[in-house]
Amino acid sequence: MLLIYSNAESWDSMSDQERLALSRGHRELVAALQASGELVHGAGLDDESLSTTVRVTADDEIEATDGPFIEAKEHLAGYYVVEVPDREAAVAIAARIPDAKRVAVEVRPVLRS
């Protein structure tokens, strides 16, 4: 799984043209990964202000707070699930994600049941 992290400063610092180029880059990457058969799934996530963080206390009480505020400056902005033979191939695809030039993209194996 390729996890794309972003932050408000990165997004706000982009011009409209840069944002359009970023979107175009994602469309091109999706087309290439579909053509190669490597794309399993991917999606961008809606505004982080619309999220809810859920924790369960030791007393089994549910605590739900607005926002993705899990002690981090960045938030998860989107992801791709790819089927590739090894970590190196996943890293190579992660480097092609347009956001990787501005923010972090994490490569993490998905557990198989």
Alpha-carbon distance of 111 to 113, in angstroms, equals: 7
Alpha-carbon distance of 80 to 94, in angstroms, equals: 9
Going residue by residue through the chain, which has 113 residues, state the pLDDT in tens, using 9 for 90 and above.
999 988 878 888 999 999 999 999 999 999 999 999 999 999 988 877 788 878 888 999 988 887 656 556 678 889 999 999 999 999 999 999 999 988 889 999 988 77
pLDDT at 41: 94
Alpha-carbon distance of 97 to 104, in angstroms, equals: 10
Note if the pTM is more than 0.85: no
CATH T-level assignment (fold) for domain 2-107: Alpha-Beta Plaits (3.30.70)
Which is it for strands 105-107 and 2-6: parallel, antiparallel or unpaired?
A: antiparallel
pLDDT at 72: 62
pLDDT at 103: 85
CA of 27: how far to CAs of 23, 57, 104, in Å? 6, 41, 19
Rg (CA), the chain: 16
